[in-house]
Structure 1
Amino acid sequence: MLYADTPFITAEIISSLYHKINSGNDICVLGFHTDNPYGYGRLIQSTTGGLKAIVEESEASKSEKMIKNVNAGMMAFNGNIIEKMISKIDRSNTKDEYFLTDIVSIGNDNNLNVDFILTEYEYVIGINDRTN
């Protein structure tokens, strides 16, 4: 799953996500490191180094807002689990919206293997119009 406004994603990045799934992960998220994480979902690491959750800006605590590894908006899934996990997403957040990013914590709650990889910001920059 990826956003349509990120034209600089490379075949190598997609291959890296694919490799993570083929290596036994059920969910793999693409992220990047930034000195200014405002507006991005924060990647919350587990104690074992995997991905515990993605916390959206509007839901983040003060300490979570200090995290500089953020969601780039691209995920890979084991095809056998995606439908079941998506059906568990609810709107229990301050925006009363469905956050696809909740699939990470739902996956962890269901004992799935969830991980992430980091790339450079230049590859995941979004393009919104001709001047942006």
Structure 2
Amino acid sequence: MRKISAPSFLTGLKRGVMHRCPNCGEGRLYSRYLKVDLDCEVCGHDLAHYPADDGPAYFTILIIGHLFVAPLLFFPFIWQAPVALVVPLTVIPLGALTLVLLPRVKGAVIGALWAHKLRKAEDAPGG
């Protein structure tokens, strides 16, 4: 396993958003949509032991709600148009945006955990 010096918090975030191994920035982070690879194929870093859990979903909801849903409520068509028109015109794009944003936020969370050297409790020394 190649040992790489720990870069900054922002480097971890950037590598995670780009779906790259936070340790080397070259290997892929995911094997499927949100399934984190067990090990980086480039540097061998153990990727599966970062406790991302519910954090990425929470942050994604927070981002979508504050940056898209809240401003959307200021547009009159939301309140004046028929519900049968408003629901598909808002829910479908917001759902798609959420699905696009979620793996990027999860990567950023994993990058942040890596930068702070936080791992699952069973991986901690003596745990």
TM-score, structure 2 as length reference: 0.26
From the CA coordinates, give the structure whose radius of gyration is larger: 2
